[in-house]
Amino acid sequence: MAGNKGRGRAAYTFNIEAVGFSKGEKLPDVVLKPPPLFPDTDYKPVPLKTGEGEEYMLALKQELRETMKRMPYFIETPEERQDIERYSKRYM
C-alpha cells in the first residue's frame, strides 16, 4: 500500500570498507560478558627518584606555593552563598 517510494530499503549510510569490513564478510561474534574492571598492567610504573636533589626540589616547590599564597595578588575563590537563608542552618 505504501508504494515503493524509497522508505525502508536496506542501505548503508557509511562506507563499510572504512570500518574494516568488506561486503559479505562475517562480522565478529557478540560479546555477552562485561569487560574486566581493571585492565592487566603489562608495564609497571617507574619508581620515583629519591635523593638529596629531589628532596631539595620538593622543598623549593612547597616554599614557592606558600610564598604565592601569601602574596597580596593571590585571589581565593569566594565561598558560594545561597540566595535563600535556610531556617535550619541559622541555628546550627
pLDDT tens digits, residue range 45-73?
888 888 999 999 999 999 999 999 999 88
All three cell numbers of 25, joined, read 564478510
- Helix, coil or strand: residue 73: coil
Has this prediction a pTM greater than 0.85?
no
Residue 16 confidence (pLDDT) above 60: yes
Q: Which three cell numbers stand for residue 91?
A: 541555628
Helices (H), 1-92: 16-19, 52-70, 87-90
How many Cα atoms within 13 Å fall on the side-chain side of residue 27? 4
Which grid coordinates belong to 64?
614557592
Measure the CA–CA gap between 16 and 78, rounded to whole angstroms: 54
Mean pLDDT to the nearest integer, 27-35: 83
Residue 10 confidence class, pLDDT cut points 50, 70, 90 = low
